[in-house]
A and B are shown apart, each in its own frame.
Chain A
């Protein structure tokens, strides 16, 4: 197992390398000169001298290869440089915002698991009953409504009309409720359907019929046998969405004025704040890989039929 984890960790290096290369290339293909974008954002008129000075300061006057080598060198030392916009170390700024996004991601994930597991199972067991209908309605609604619109709707009803919860900001648990629901709904929609179909699939399996003929109670069959296997695709889904949640809560952060990582990144894109963009891509790549690894490990532990060796070769 340890060698498997080790191998997977080493695999991070080429993936991150490719991610930074693609980002670097995209930034340089873009028609906007970061030095010019910086000056424009700062409301400073970009005279040719000033542009040259800024380009030199940012190292943009170096050959592309040197620039890239320099970037990689710095990232390897986990030095993400200084933000063009705020003049502060990027890592400090990220550290300030990442916890807010992590908080939101955590509660959204928890809520979606707590809702979708029972709902998915019940929808499968009582197929075509009212509870299945309800779960289907929630899924359609959750999957089709745009997140920003859902956010506004929730604010309108629960904050403005009913005055139960704050409109925006971060601080107390009350601030968490609406953004968490907004983020979870789509996850609940996906997880519930995933679990429902995978439970239904397992219920058709012969081992369930044998268990039934052996007189084992339905509840035991469900919890001890079916669920253990049926939950596997859900875990994969959770792993994928964990990465997405940590890096992609941009719209929800915007709507609820949540001072997180997503908002910071959007600003960075508009201002062509290259060090920030590079740091974001690096972190996003690492997060996705780590989440993936965690998923595989959990599945490995839960289902011993998947051997560590087999997985690693897979």
Chain B
């Protein structure tokens, strides 16, 4: 190589390296300082560090994904708060009255409440928020109140009124959910008032305010100095975004995290291991939802209640739930657990009994051919397709267990693992035999559950479509949702739940629970009654 060549090649390599250094150097500026300042803050203040798998999102109270519910609930508050066993308690509304016809709701707003920027909370801002939400009615149509809300009025500075087009009893429950009916301060509204396109800044009345935020990395929430209620015991909550469950556990073991809580935050194995370690505290919540198996009655083979009943009795639920979830879920006897309003009804559990199952299948005409392993009737085999979310290890293990147990009965199950979005699509298109389904939890249930029982399009009404009493069931649901009489409503719920239990088209498998793991310095950790809320207000820090 000539001198000239050598020089030019050296020059070129040097230029390339320099270029890369510049890119990398520019990209790195500042980030180190920020995280170290966040870290040094933690030593001087009472601070808790937790993790979440996704970025907290835009913190807009009126929109959905990618905003995270727990974070929205730290900043923004509802008029009414949902508490244990479905009790409704005053939050930003101090009291409320409902007209006799069940159509007019008048709320007395709490006085002296201020947003985190010091501006007052009053009926004007409540109306402004309601109107901003209702401007995009279509987006929120999944929530019952949106479909029946007719008018919003400011009666006086601290009185706000809602008028409905028809009575709908779960109005108060709907107002307690995390989104969309929570309140953004004036300073957060965009100039045109349409919050669906974004907000200027996250200003709420809640106990926390967003102090520092780096997208995809961390968010720091500090106490809101203007908070009207009991101030949180800790000064600061730092949320680190850690998408991987195993990394989350390692960070916790190292002491970088004080708390891990939520649904499916860490694997069941990891939870089990942390539970066995005396250094940490673990907790399981009350049921937050039910894992059920839908037996689609619109399939002619499943339209016979004897077949459905045989299938429900034909697998050992207790053993399966304990085996697959290491006892972290609880076997479920009824579709809705009893910690919702109206669900504490006496229902006969359907217990494991293989002999009875076989007898029922025989009775329904599905007989085992001589030397065969799959039952037949009129030349048809008793076989089904079970679809499950292939990324969900619990669903997969349960599907395999059920497949094995039913094969003993002479029922053939073909398993199809699908991507979640495809699975949901098939549910809605009523294109399935067997499907894992979950109800919505508090504060959505039990009214959202009975609503999907009667409303087509969600997959549940279709699953129940061949039930002989389907029409009656639908009428009962409509009557319950619009009833203004508490006793009548309880009766209707009792009857609906009894029918569903006897028909065995929605087979309850287990109650899902939230998990929490925390360091010993944390005390007074209580799971929120509302599935989507945060548990931070009551948390205390011991001497460390």
Contact = CB atoms under 8 A, between A and B. Distances in A.
A248 interface: no
B138 A50 contact: yes
B244 A255 contact: yes
Interface string A244-280: 0000000000111101000110000011100000000
Given A166-B256, A171-B36, A272 B421 contact: yes
Nearest to B23: A102
A296 to B, nearest CB: 12
B247 interface: yes
B139 interface: yes
- Say which size band chain B's interface belongs to: 35 or more
B519 interface: no
A304 interface: yes
Contact of B142 (A45, A160, A294): A45
Contact of B215 (A40, A98, A160, A259): A259
A304 B5 contact: yes
Nearest to A269: B419
B241 A42 contact: no
B27 interface: yes
Contacts of B422: 31-32
Interface string A146-174: 00000010011001100100111111100
Contact of A86 (B35, B66, B247): B66
**Interface residues of B: mostly helix, strand, loop or mixed?**
helix
A255 B419 CA distance: 22
B240 A169 contact: yes
A228 B65 contact: no
A87 interface: yes
Given A32-B425, A96-B215, A168-B251, A85 B243 contact: no
A305 to B, nearest CB: 10
Nearest to B419: A32
B43 interface: no
A42 B141 CA distance: 13
A37 interface: yes
Given A45-B141, A167-B250, A301 B27 contact: no
Given A106-B24, A294-B16, A49 B419 contact: no
Interface string A37-53: 10011111111011001
Contacts of B26: 99
A156 B250 contact: yes
A147 to B, nearest CB: 12
Contacts of B88: none
A106 B27 CA distance: 12
Contacts of B1: 228, 302, 304
A257 B242 CA distance: 5
A102 B36 contact: no
A100 interface: yes
Interface in B480-508: none
A242 B173 CA distance: 54
Contact of A301 (B9, B34, B217, B458): B9
Contacts of A40: 421, 424
A103 B244 contact: no
B138 to A, nearest CB: 5
Interface string B190-233: 00000001100000000000000011111000000000000000
A155 B241 contact: no
A295 to B, nearest CB: 11
A136 interface: no
A97 interface: yes
A125 to B, nearest CB: 22
A297 interface: yes
Interface centre among A36, A44, A85, A256 (most CB of B within 10 A): A44
Given A298-B13, A301-B9, A152 B138 contact: no
Contact of A87 (B13, B141, B197, B424): B197
B457 interface: yes
B421 A42 contact: no
B246 interface: yes
A257 B257 CA distance: 14
Contacts of B66: 85-86
B299 interface: no
A37 to B, nearest CB: 5
B254 A159 contact: yes
Contact of A168 (B12, B138, B139, B247): B247
A68 to B, nearest CB: 23
Nearest to A303: B1
Contacts of B403: none
B32 interface: yes
Contact of B12 (A42, A43, A106, A301): A301
Contacts of B421: 32, 36-37, 40, 270, 272
B20 interface: yes
Given A42-B65, A294-B16, A168 B242 contact: yes
Contacts of A97: 216
Given A103-B24, A160-B254, A152 B246 contact: yes
Nearest to B60: A87
Nearest to B65: A42
Given A87-B198, A172-B32, A263 B216 contact: yes
Contacts of B419: 32
A302 B138 CA distance: 64
Contacts of A32: 419, 421-422, 425
Interface in B1-28: 1, 5, 8-9, 12-13, 16, 20, 23-24, 26-28
Contact of B240 (A256, A257, A264): A257
A36 B247 contact: no
A172 B33 CA distance: 8
Contact of B250 (A49, A160, A302): A160
B96 interface: no
Given A45-B142, A106-B20, A297 B240 contact: no
B64 A43 contact: yes
A152 B253 CA distance: 13
Contacts of A43: 64-65, 142
Interface in A155-201: 155-156, 159-160, 163, 166-172
Q: Which 8 A-B pairs have the closest CB atoms?
A: A99-B27, A45-B142, A259-B216, A42-B64, A171-B35, A42-B65, A301-B9, A167-B251
11 contacts: A44-B142, A47-B138, A103-B28, A167-B251, A168-B240, A169-B240, A255-B244, A256-B247, A294-B16, A298-B16, A302-B1
Interface of A: 31-33, 36-37, 40-47, 49-50, 53, 85-87, 96-100, 102-103, 106-107, 152, 155-156, 159-160, 163, 166-172, 228, 254-257, 259, 263-264, 270-272, 294, 297-298, 301-302, 304
Interface of B: 1, 5, 8-9, 12-13, 16, 20, 23-24, 26-28, 31-32, 34-36, 57-58, 63-66, 138-142, 197-198, 214-218, 240-244, 246-247, 250-251, 253-254, 256, 419, 421-422, 424-425, 428, 457-458
Given A99-B27, A160-B250, A254-B244, 10 more contacts: A47-B138, A96-B215, A166-B256, A167-B247, A168-B242, A256-B247, A257-B242, A263-B216, A271-B65, A301-B5
